Amino acid sequence: MTFDDEYYMRRALNEAQNAFDHGEVPVGAVAVCDGKIIGRAWNQVEQLKDATAHAEILVITQAAAAIGDWRLENVDIYVTKEPCAMCAGAMVNSRVRRLIFGLGDPRSGAAGGALDVTGFSGMLHNVEVTSGILAEECRELMQSFFKLVRGSSENNKSKFY
């Protein structure tokens, strides 16, 4: 059985829902090699008290452990929101083959949104990028989270920020 980008993005959305359920910004990611999911993660910045605990960083670590190498040349990463500069840089440095994301981020995305770290010609590696996969579902989850956070904040009950 072969799966398509939507299938794997739905798995990433499941991870993003985990983040949402734990009070984290709902970003989820899965790493795929040879059609098999070898890593899955969700944002855990608040839980781990670690600014680098983005879903993409966590899934890169899992993928490297799964294949036994830091070079992820045959790995595709699916993530619900366009990666920031840190995460895009990690994908370049780990030589991820392909990045597939849902929701673009024109303010701070670094895979063609605000910056293009993944395709910058001066890098030793460029990551192939596909965007907009299940973008509306990704957007809805993100918007639901921030509506909840803002509502909680107004009631002085926010545990999120």
Residue 53 contacts residue 78 (beta carbons within 8 Å): no
Point out the residues that are catalytic: 56
6-123-108-158 Cα dihedral, nearest 10 degrees = 80
Longest Cα pair distance anywhere in the chain, in angstroms?
Answer: 50
Measured CA to CA, the distance from residue 63 to residue 4 in angstroms comes to: 19
For the chain, percent helix, then strand, then coil, each to nearest 5? 40, 20, 40
* CA 133 vs CA 5, 12, 82, 106: distances in Å: 7, 11, 11, 16
5-21 and 55-67 are packed helices; what angle lies between their axes, rounded to 10 degrees?
A: 120
